[in-house]
Amino acid sequence: MHCFSQLVIPRMSTSRAVLLVLVVALAECCLSPAHASEPQRIERLSFNRDIRPILSDKCFACHGPDAAAREAGLRLDTSDDGAGFQGGYSVIEPGDAEASELVERITSDDPDIVMPPPEVKHPLSNDEKAMLARWIEQGAEYQAHWSYMPITKPDLPENALSGASDAWSRNAIDRFVLAKLIAQGIEPAPEASRVMWLRRVTQDLTGLPPTVEAIDAFEADDSPDAYEKVVDQLLASDDYAERMALVWLDNARYADSNGFQFDNARKMWPWRDWVIAAFKQNMPYDQFITEQLAGDLLPNATDDQRVATGFNRNHPTTIEGGTIDEEYRVMNINDRTTTAGTLLLGLTLECCRCHDHKYDPIATREYYQLFAFFNTSADPGKGEQGKSIAPFIERDSGEVMVMQEKPRKSFVLTGGQFDQHGELVEPGTPGVLPAFGNRPRNRLGLAQWLLDKEHPLTARVTVNRFWQQFFGIGLVKTPDNFGFQAELPSHPELLDYLAADFREHDWNLHHLIKQIVLSATYRQDSTHRLELADPENRLLARGPSFRIPAELIRDQALLASGLLTKQVGGPSVFPYQPAGIWEDLNAPASHAETYTQSTGADLYRKSLYTYWRRAATHPAMTVFDAPSRDVCTVRRETTNTPLQALALLHGPTYVESSRKLAELVIEAAPGDEPSQITLAFRRTLSRKPTESEQSLLARLYRQRLQSYRANPTATDKLLAVGESAVNESLDANAVAAMADVALTIFNLSETVTRK
């Protein structure tokens, strides 16, 4: 792309002659959008990689899968014939760009002729025009969309430089990664230090940094399986189950409140605890999905399996007066359908409610066939204040909403309107995906179909999401979209390998995760390699680094300070929150809820257990990009804002934790400030401070100590923050000064980064 920007492009009265010159010029360049950072030449354009993204983005809205919107009977998403429409070949002469009407139309100067029409304001760029022309010159070969093709387990690449078993690779992942690096002429990054790897893997698998004891033990263990032993220990912990659950709660849009209107409380935490227990026992992923989608339909369904179906009930519900029950009921079914689409199929289905998909070959009718699987459920659209919405089961002295079948006809809803019934439809799956077969046409059959070994999407989408969890970005960058508009995978064969392997190993998550975290790829140092111009690390030429999620920022401070309460499950809790957040919702007195802060150990539970109110998520979570969980979320953002700085500098959790950490390190090394600083540093950042870090922090300590000694009121105020007891046996001024050092450490960029 760089070379292209240097081309002097005449202000094109784009005659085809000029265009063909351009085609030749471009042949000398690397211009594939999906591979823009690769310096190699691309000899032959690929429909999937180079052409479909252009057609999909610029042409399919009128010449794509949506029959109703199709102009001039022409669809460009497929090559030829079919029933009653003209495919791409009606305007393309394979091998002859100049003779192809498509080229004439996209390069015309005449506003009445040129495509796309100027009024659409979404013109083709010159390089896109040139690519289309060149693809035609090369024979205009169409390909099926990669993610709809069956998954075949690829052979491991023979790496040209090093032979089949190179010295770097530790497992299959590395073979694929290295093959690509070698093709680019890039060396992998050096191995991360042991501490860095331990911190990385412990954060990834447990959401917490390693303890000082764990670091010392690992550094002392020179046995060949030291790394694997650590991973096995971590995978067996409650912390692991909680860490995995944290991600799934976003996916499954779990919350403790109803969402719409007054956003009052609901009780779904027993479902959350089911998720934690499932991860703790390493439930096979296919069972994990089946029980959540359709546990109630399993033979002799247990209470646990029925609780699992709360997954489908997690969406927001309303109690707003004046709403029409059926309208909200349909909205709920839509939510379940699109959640399954996003989470399991990697397909965006929202648009199909009203019209055929503009990009992907999914018709409105097919959407409502999927919808029909979820439509036969007994729950109404609307609830009443303070009541669970039936059906529910009794659990932990309360009612948990679950699924229950109730026969109901489904129709295409014209224009997506709940009361505009069109054609009657039976439950079914999109024609572009494998046939549904003789399975029962209910949610259980749907789960079986999704998890079938022929299914091209579920396993790919799943391993991609787990990859994202460990590398910050998926092999497919858009975990929610594997359709035509999605960017292609950075390592397509690796994705397929992992998907096939995961399925072959009975959807065993431990197996998948161990492969990832024990790979040489994962073990690389994460120092950014600016010379590679690959800031997102799509090449995997270094270890991944990214800001840790909101919850873990808080949990880490609680752990470092010794405040963290480790207790699995139970009702959600209410940590410190600025006054008035719930009152700000403006609910009338009859519907208002009061935030009653927890006391004692409950103040220091993991953030996973913080009460999740959708309309007013905890502000310290929100500033660090926790979603509202109104809808299924499969990727969180990582922003960088001044409000984050304020939350870490002034949030009572951090001020209190800094004091407790100060007390702890002073007790551990009385009178020895350098050791105190080192310990505070290690408890937070795992590594030891550098000399310069040590001296800057020591100077800060001395300055602050002097200041607190001169101003005892300031000391008192600092020590008064938080509910935890003050250790009266220590010098208050020293505690306050060391607390400022600890707060400084909590605020370091490295502290909130997993690198």
Partner 1 sequence: MDELNHLCNCIDRRRMLQLGAAGLGGMALAGMQAAGAASDAEQPVLPHHQAKAKRVIYLFQSGAPSQVDLFDYKPALARHHGEDIFSLVPQTRRLTGFNDTHKTHPIINTQYKFARHGENGAWVSELLPCMSQITDDVCTIRSVSTTPVNHDPALTFMQTGHGLPGRPSLGSWMSYGLGSMNRNLPDFVVLVSRGDLGNMQPLNNRLWGSGFLSGRYAGVRLRSGEAPVLYLRDPAEKPITDERLILDVIKQLNEEELARSGDRAIETRIAQYEMAYRMQTAIPGLTDLSDETESTYRLYGDDARTPGTYAYNCLMARRLAEHDVRFVQLYHSGWDHHFSLPAHLPKRCKETDQATAGLITDLKQRGLLDDTIVLWGGEFGRTTFSQDGKVRQDYGRDHHAGCFTMLAAGGGFVPGLIHGETDDFCYSVTKDEVPVHDLHATILHQLGIDHERLTFKHQGRNYRLTDVYGRVVEELIG
- Look up residue 397 and give its two tokens: 């002295």
Answer for which of 234, 272, 651, 678 binds partner 1 (CB under 8 A) is 651
630 part of the interface to partner 1, by CB under 8 A: yes
Closer by beta carbon to partner 1, 33 or else 562? 33
DSSP 3-state of 754: strand
Give yes or no for residue 427 binding partner 1 (CB under 8 A): no
Nearest 10 degrees: Cα torsion 72, 78, 79, 85: -40
* Interaction of residue 753 with partner 1, rule CB under 8 A: yes
x/- site string to partner 1, residues 69 to 108, per CB under 8 A? Answer: ----------------------------------------
Identity (one letter) of the amino acid at 53?
P
Contact region for partner 1 (CB under 8 A) — 21-29, 157-165, 242-250, 693-701? Answer: 693-701
Near partner 1 by CB under 8 A: residue from 16, 503, 704, 754 = 704
3-state secondary structure of 400: strand
> Tokens 């509910």 belong to which residue?
723
The C-alpha atoms of residue 634 and residue 252 are separated, in whole angstroms, by 9
In angstroms, give the least distance from the CB of 98 to partner 1.
Answer: 26
Strands (E), 410-456: 410-413, 421-425
Query: Based on CB atoms, which residue is closest to partner 1, 32 or 292?
Result: 32
In terms of CB distance, is 16 or 755 closer to partner 1? Answer: 755
Position 407 contacts partner 1 (CB under 8 A): no
By beta-carbon proximity to partner 1, the closer residue of 287 and 644 is 644
Query: Looking at 139-147, 160-168, 301-309, 578-586, which segment touches partner 1 (CB under 8 A)?
Result: 578-586
Beta strand pairing status for 392-394 and 399-401?
A: antiparallel
Q: Alpha-carbon distance 270 to 313, whole Å? A: 13
Enter the tokens of residue 108.
């015309």
Only segment of 159-167, 434-442, 500-508, 639-647 that touches partner 1 (CB under 8 A): 639-647
Cβ-based neighbours of 687, under 8 Å, separated by 6 or more: 193, 195, 196, 199, 681
Contact residue for partner 1 among 72, 164, 645, 710 (CB under 8 A): 645
260 part of the interface to partner 1, by CB under 8 A: yes
Q: Which tokens in the block code for residue 606?
A: 């993991």
Minimum distance of partner 1 from residue 352's CB (angstroms)? 12
Please report whether residue 703 would count as binding partner 1 according to CB under 8 A.
Answer: yes
Q: Are strands 753-754 and 392-394 parallel, antiparallel or unpaired?
A: unpaired
| Cα 384 to Cα 593: distance, rounded to the nearest angstrom | 15
Which tokens hold the place of 360?
């992907």
Tokens read off for 312: 């489908």
- Residue 430 is a binding residue for partner 1 (CB under 8 A): no
Residue 700 in the binding site for partner 1 (CB under 8 A): yes
Residues 506-565 touching partner 1, rule: CB under 8 A, are 526-531, 533-536, 538, 545, 547
The yes or no reply on residue 6 touching partner 1 (CB under 8 A) is no
At residue 53, φ and ψ (nearest 5 deg) are -55, -35
Asked if 620 interacts with partner 1 (CB under 8 A), we say yes
Considering only residues 178, 289, 655, 735, which one is a binding residue for partner 1 as defined by CB under 8 A?
655
Confirm or reject binding of residue 62 to partner 1 (CB under 8 A).
no
Query: Residue 687 has which token pair?
Result: 């590594």
Among 5, 13, 594, 596, binds partner 1 (CB under 8 A): 5
How many CB atoms are located within 10 Å of the residue 320 CB?
A: 10
CB nearer to partner 1: give 451 or 752: 752
* Binding-site string for partner 1 from residue 30 to residue 59, where x marks contact by CB under 8 A and - marks none: -x-xxxxx------------------xx--
Residue 615 near partner 1 by CB under 8 A: yes
Min dist. Cβ of residue 447 to partner 1 (A): 24
Pairing of strands 392-394, 410-413: unpaired
Residue 421 sits in the site that holds partner 1 (CB under 8 A): no
Site for partner 1 in 290-349 (CB under 8 A): 316, 318, 320-325, 331, 348
Distance (Å, rounded) from C-alpha 186 to C-alpha 183? 8
Residue 586 sits in the site that holds partner 1 (CB under 8 A): yes
Instruction: Report d(CA 488, CA 41) in Å as an integer.
Output: 18
Between 110 and 531, CB nearer to partner 1: 531
User: Residue type at 325?
Assistant: D
Buried-exposed string 463-493: b where 16+ CB fall within 10 A, e elsewhere: bbbbbbbbbebbbbbbbbbbbbbbebbbbbb
- Rounded to 5 degrees, φ, ψ at 313 are -105, 5
